């Protein structure tokens, strides 16, 4: 069995579908399908067409792990995507329980049973830093979401000398792709731009900010299917996966920043021509916004992952191609 937490969410559901592509069917999907104010649609639709053997609510799963119900279950890998990823969430107690305590529980469970454990971290740990090497001097989160992820990364780092089976944290940069329609305001800029373009013929983006001209803010946009493959690589699920355990906190991005104007142009090529309108920078994002991100992928390459990343234009085309089960 392979466990995918957050398996009905954006990244988790794409991971389940990608596992199906390589022939994996014995998958336990774990998620929380309760209504949430930041969601714009139901997550379960992301699993349409996917094949998996079981589903558990996150609370049931945590309780089952604590109670030892998986003691006799053969688990090949845990791909931990479950988290509160709302960067505007200010409830620190909820965020820490969901993103830190839950992750600690699974880490120790995985170590006890010698299960490869690959988990989702985030580039939000870097905050306003312009240096994206995974080193403490560069880690200055701007919100409690980034803080909660950094606390767990540091917990893993402290335990590394005594870790046995694989533990890899992947700091996701600006992820985009299919199956994110439910995320509301937290959807990628590609999702928002597409809706604007199709509804009005105009894409709205921020005026210059953070030292960048209008629409020239830059992000490392990474295609979700690339992240799925990185997860599977370190979890030991691919023929080219490492033969020995890996213990690392790594950046998961392309290493190439692209402008928001580049994104708009790629979308107009796929959908329809349109105009760009620049709008004032919103006040509630002033101290929470990363104007530039670009992964330093030296650690990822050193750890053995050498596959190329999907380029922005190709990724946009694949994002809006018909999806299996859609």
Could you tell me the sign of the dihedral formed by the alpha carbons of 281, 282, 284, 288, in that order? negative
Q: Give the residue from 125, 163, 174, 151 showing the smallest Cα distance to 248.
A: 163
Which H helix or E strand runs over 57? strand 54-57
Which H helix or E strand runs over 306? none
Which pair of structure tokens corresponds to residue 13? 């559901």
Which pair of structure tokens corresponds to residue 256? 């190439």
Q: What angle do CA 4, 6, 10 make, to 5 degrees?
A: 110
Distances in Å between the Cα of 317 and the Cα atoms of 48, 64, 101, 267, 323 are 21, 41, 38, 8, 12
Which pair of structure tokens corresponds to residue 195? 């809706």
Catalytic residue IDs: 145, 183
Residue 1: alpha-carbon gap to chain centroid: 22
């Amino acid at each position: 069995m392979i466990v995918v937490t957050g398996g009905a969410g954006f990244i988790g559901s794409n991971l389940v579908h990608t596992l199906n592509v390589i022939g994996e069917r014995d998958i336990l999907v774990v998620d929380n399908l309760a209504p949430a104010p930041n969601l714009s649609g139901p997550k379960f639709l992301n699993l349409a067409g996917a094949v998996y053997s079981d589903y558990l609510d996150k609370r049931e799963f945590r309780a089952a792990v604590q109670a030892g119900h998986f003691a006799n279950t053969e688990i090949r890998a845990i791909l931990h995507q479950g988290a509160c990823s709302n960067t505007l969430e200010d409830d620190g107690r909820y965020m820490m329980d969901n993103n830190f305590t839950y992750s600690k529980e699974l880490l120790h469970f995985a170590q006890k049973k010698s299960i490869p454990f690959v988990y989702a971290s985030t580039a939000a740990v870097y905050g306003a830093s312009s240096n994206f090497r995974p080193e403490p001097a560069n880690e200055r989160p701007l919100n409690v979401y980034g803080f909660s992820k950094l606390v767990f990364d540091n917990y893993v780092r402290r335990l590394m000398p005594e870790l046995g089976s694989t533990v890899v944290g992947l700091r996701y940069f600006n992820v985009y792709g299919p199956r994110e329609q439910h995320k509301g305001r937290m959807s990628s800029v590609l999702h928002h731009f597409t809706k604007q373009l199709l509804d009005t013929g105009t894409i709205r983006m921020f005026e210059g900010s953070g030292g960048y001209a209008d629409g020239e803010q830059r992000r490392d946009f990474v295609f979700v299917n690339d992240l799925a493959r990185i997860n599977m690589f370190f979890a030991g699920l691919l023929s080219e996966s490492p033969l020995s355990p890996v213990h690392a906190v790594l950046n998961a991005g392309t290493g190439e920043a692209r402008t928001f104007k580049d994104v708009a142009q790629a979308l107009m090529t796929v959908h329809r021509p349109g105009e760009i309108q620049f709008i004032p920078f919103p006040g509630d994002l002033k101290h929470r916004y990363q104007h530039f991100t670009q992964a330093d992928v030296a650690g990822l390459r050193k750890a053995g992952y050498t596959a190329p990343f999907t380029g922005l234009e190709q990724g946009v085309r694949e994002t809006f191609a018909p999806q299996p089960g859609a």
